[in-house]
Amino acid sequence: MSFQVFGIAVSRGVAIGRAVLVASSRVDVAHYFVSPDEIQSEIARLLRARDAVVHELATLKDELPGDAPHELAALLDVHLMLLHDEALTGSASQWIVDRHYNAEWALSAQLEVLARQFDEMEDDYLRERKADLEQVVERVLGALAQEAGKAPPPVRPRDFGGEDPLLLVAADIAPADMIQFKRSVFRGFITDIGGKTSHTAIVARSMDIPAVVGTREASRLIMQDDWVIIDGDAGTVIVNPSPIVLEEYRFRQRQSELERARLARLRHTPAVTLDGVQVDLHANIEMPVDAESAVAAGATGVGLFRSEFLFMNRDGELPSEEEQFIAYKAAVESMKGMPVTIRTVDVGADKPLDRLTVNELRHEHVLNPAMGLRAIRWSLAEPSMFRQQLRAIYRASAYGKVRLLIPMVAHLSEVRQILETIRKVQQQLTDAGHAFTRVELGVMIEIPAAAVMLPLLLRHVDFVSIGTNDLIQYTLAIDRADEAVAHLYDPWHPAVLQLISQSIAQANAAGKGVSVCGEMAGDPDFTELLLAMGLRSFSMHPSQIPAVKQRVLRADAQRLASALPRLLESEDPRATAEKELSAARSGAAIVH
């Protein structure tokens, strides 16, 4: 019987194949008490299992093939740091000492404590790192079971025979498993959990493999060896399709493969509209190594370097100025003279940088983390840390074009404090004999107040970057993590479009640079709309650049702009956009 499962589309395209179900490897956890004489040996058993997993992951990382997505190495590093974090095994050992729990029980008890803390986090990326924590614990539990002789043998791709293409179906997929399931084995991924920033989504996009996550029930509804279609564009999974549906999707798959090949040829083609408007397509990156992927995708710069990834999972220690400088310098040099926009650390709520261990990510006393001490508010509250980061960024400017981006600005007083801190930092660098060049200053427009008062902000900064994800959330008072209201998160809402359009127009009128770095920038469905608003700089995940570039090459910016007033006045902007922008769209064929 044919049926459909719905989830979140995180990597576009169509994949067709037989389902390979990989059940969670979590073993049944035994619950028993150990005697006082057994406490130290039980702790030793826990640490042996932890060390065995550390060795396994370190070996996997060292043996990564040259063509493996660099995101895999970064995610393995996250798992290794979690394993070394005292908040996990150290606190689990304390359960053994205090409560006399056996190792498995103690580890599971500590997982529950930490999982609740992750659930309360406001930031999407941080909240979804709960899955990494669960997978680390799962592997340690597996090592404990293996020592006891109770663990099943691990599943490997070679266990699956036949010539049919294979699709992986699982509750979730750990980065280490991604390596075991070589790139050539599986044509697509389906998981029960996860979101757009989950590691499965990140790796699927980097590998350009269709994926649907957050299906909730897929691993329970789909049977081993079922024929399955992954529609990565719609976020739909079709199980045991009829011959007619199967043939239709096979045709779409062939068209998609041809389209990808065409898009790949656009890599070195300048992004210029039919009426001659130059458009910058920049990349969002998290780590210095990501800059290589940006260049390979044809990016003309880095529009957002999320520096907070340098601060995470460090057992409570801040990265030194020198360590930050080396990371920023590496990214700048990799871009070969193209601009790199570095955002100052953007971590939220009550997480001071000296409390970034898993053990300290607490929210008990914060009523609304999204509106608490986060981003620039936090940096200004930690002036020594802020100056250290600014010094590292300015030092990197001696090696290429660097721009400085400040998140979550809402007050002119914040801008004045930032400017004063920059002056102090420049003087410190001059006194120390460090070279640096002029660094353009920009602020993120992600709070409605900043959008409304933008003309005042523009007097003090060189450029602005619109963070559409948070701007939508704050404008509509919608917590994207709350499933009860997540359906109200709507980038097509008239108020959202008005704020974005006004911000772009005001920045252009003031002669200041303006870009969009949120999800809307990388979604081809919004490319023409943003061009119509006057946007000329987009920043997105490197894998999204080709599809957006194609839309730019086929667009007529002037004709699109003429349709904008009717769209902004509409009660149903999405429907009006489809009608008006389609009418304004040029039908001229592009040959590359």
- Rounded distance between C-alpha atoms, residue 374 and residue 566, angstroms: 38
| Chain position carrying tokens 């880095």 | 302
Q: Is 199 a catalytic residue?
A: yes
| 19 phi and psi angles, rounded to 5 deg | -75, 135
Using an 8 Å Cβ cutoff, are 58 and 81 in contact? Answer: no
- What's the length of the chain? 592
Exposure string for 49-68, b = 16+ CB within 10 A, e = fewer = bbebbbeebeebbeeeeeeb
Q: Is 517 a catalytic residue?
A: yes
For residue 445, the cross-strand partners are: 466
According to DSSP, the β-strands at 211-213 and 8-11 are: antiparallel
| Residue 435, both tokens | 């070279």
| Residue 257, both tokens | 């493969």
- CA-wise closest residue to 520 among 498, 490, 485: 490
- CA-wise closest residue to 466 among 443, 449, 488: 443
Residue 505 is given by DSSP the state H
Three-state SS letters, 231-282: ECCCCEEEECCCHHHHHHHHHHHHHHHHHHHHHHCCCCCCCECCCCCECEEE
Determine the straight-line distance between the first and last CA of the chain, rounded to whole angstroms: 44
The 227-231 sheet, strands edge to edge:
3-6, 236-239, 227-231, 14-22, 166-170, 186-191, 211-213, 8-11
- Rounded distance between C-alpha atoms, residue 303 and residue 284, angstroms: 6
Choosing from 79, 282, 363, 517, the catalytic residue is 517
DSSP-derived 3-state class of residue 501: helix
- Rounded distance between C-alpha atoms, residue 380 and residue 245, angstroms: 57
Choosing from 79, 199, 282, 541, the catalytic residue is 199
| 283 phi and psi angles, rounded to 5 deg | -115, 145
**Longest CA span, the chain:** 81
- CA-wise closest residue to 172 among 140, 142, 125, 131: 131
How far is the CA of 295 from the CAs of 109, 332, 586, in angstroms?
45, 11, 29
For residue 14, the cross-strand partners are: 231
- CA-wise closest residue to 38 among 97, 108, 104: 97
- CA-wise closest residue to 527 among 510, 513, 542, 545: 545
The rounded Cα 117 to chain-centroid distance in angstroms is 20
- Rounded distance between C-alpha atoms, residue 325 and residue 473, angstroms: 33
Q: Provide the CB-side half-sphere exposure for 79 (13 A, CA).
A: 30
The rounded Cα 275 to chain-centroid distance in angstroms is 34
Q: Provide the CB-side half-sphere exposure for 27 (13 A, CA).
A: 22
Catalytic residues: 199, 517
